[in-house]
Amino acid sequence: MRAGNEGHPDRPLRKFDSTCANLIASLAFEATSRRQRAKLSNRDSVGANGWGLRTRTILPLLPPPSIPLHKAMAESPTLKRKREEKESKNGTAESPKEGATATGFTLTDLSVRRVLRESARDKTIFLHGQVKSASGDGTDAVVILEKTPFQEENISELLKKHTKLKLQMSNDIYSTYHLYLPPELNEIKTTVVYPATEKHLQKYLRQEVYLIQETGADYKTITLPFIESQSFSIQWVYNILEKKAEADRIIYENSDPAHGFVLIPDLKWDQKQLDDLYLIAICHCRGIKSLRDLTAEHLPLLRNILKEGKEAIVKRFGIAGARLRIYLHYQPSYYHLHVHFTALSYDAPGISVERAHLLSDVIDNLELDSHYYQMRTLTFALRADEPLLKKFQEAGRV
């Protein structure tokens, strides 16, 4: 999830009460026209930093079961829209219960308690809400609202058919207006964590961030013992690798147990446009926790991910390798080696210099020195509430 820095999490809601209520009501209405159902991904909270927490998240499925994945991805936006219109007329499109989520409640049942975090830059807001149960008790939930990027095929319709403008300011040749769109052209991507624990609430709450400079010795005496003492479940990773879950989402696979990987869309990418393309390569080899474990022995694996990952993306999505950002995180959000592939033009979360390491640079460094990442000082950021930060503070390293 994105780690926005704007906004204050604990301020009174004031005018946000009505704004959030209106947004949620609009989303509940819009759900009746959505043709894709929600899919529940039950993923455990993993990773020391918690920024890439995987939890019970609603995400749209790609095509309906009747349409092969490769065919749906190959459709042009115009053909896809015509097909959906035809399905709607023929009564084959899905018609979920109004406002319903896959977690079994409607957004209108949600009472907003506070704003955890908001980002004007990313057009996102993180809400702490409660859903009343049959007994009357409130169950915590986190709702993340995010404005989706413009879709090129909708621009012509937007300008020609919806020209109602409300003037805000005019000065010489410059004018500012508000343009009000119908729900089908004003989509809001919604992520729901329900039921949410206190750990989920703390994850999305804005907190102070500290910069850590971890030496090779620090890793052995502080970070590694901390990782080994925690019960970070990555069963969901093994489910993907063993095709027990999300097998239909795999874009490419090299099945070699030592040097192979699967390439799969990240949950943050809704796959409706390529501007925010985001895929993850997850290696088949188990036991490689992070950048710190890599040696020259892993160069064949890393080269495969770099070369074959780029080839798979250009074949499937038409985006050349020179237009991709390919990198690893340190600290990672979960301790099983994985590589991020994002569109170069996309300001993806986690691409800051204190966290992202380009895969090409990692390969070059290991070619120069097999033990480069065992010895090098690595810099990363930790939030104030993270247990690993406390370990560094106790050791006098912060």
Considering Cα of 219, then 225, then 230, then 232, what sign does the dihedral take? positive
List 200, 338, 340, 371, catalytic entry = 338
Structure tokens belonging to residue 379: 């810099």
Contact (CB, 8 A) for 52 and 109: no
User: Computed over its alpha carbons, how large is the radius of gyration of the chain?
Assistant: 22
Q: Cβ atoms within 10 A of the Cβ of 276, count?
A: 19
**Residue 42 near residue 56 (C-beta atoms within 8 A):** yes
Q: Read off the tokens for 88.
A: 């709607």
> For residue 371, what are the CA distances in angstroms to 61, 259, 329, 360?
42, 19, 18, 16
Partners of 28 in the beta sheet?
none
How many Cβ atoms are within 10 Å of 319's Cβ, its own excluded?
Answer: 17
The angle subtended at Cα 382 by Cα 377 and Cα 383, nearest 5°, is: 170
Please give the single-letter amino acid code of residue 36. Q
User: How far apart are the C-alpha atoms of 306 and 227, rounded to whole Å?
Assistant: 27
Q: How many residues does the chain have?
A: 398
Amino acid at 354: E
Whose tokens are 């879709």? That residue is 151
CB 173 within 8 A of CB 155: no
Other C-beta atoms within 10 Å of 189: how many?
19
Determine whether 284 is an active site residue. no
- Cα separation of 261 and 278, whole Å? 16
- The separation between the first and the last C-alpha atoms of the chain, rounded to the nearest angstrom, is 26
Task: Give catalytic residue positions.
Answer: 338
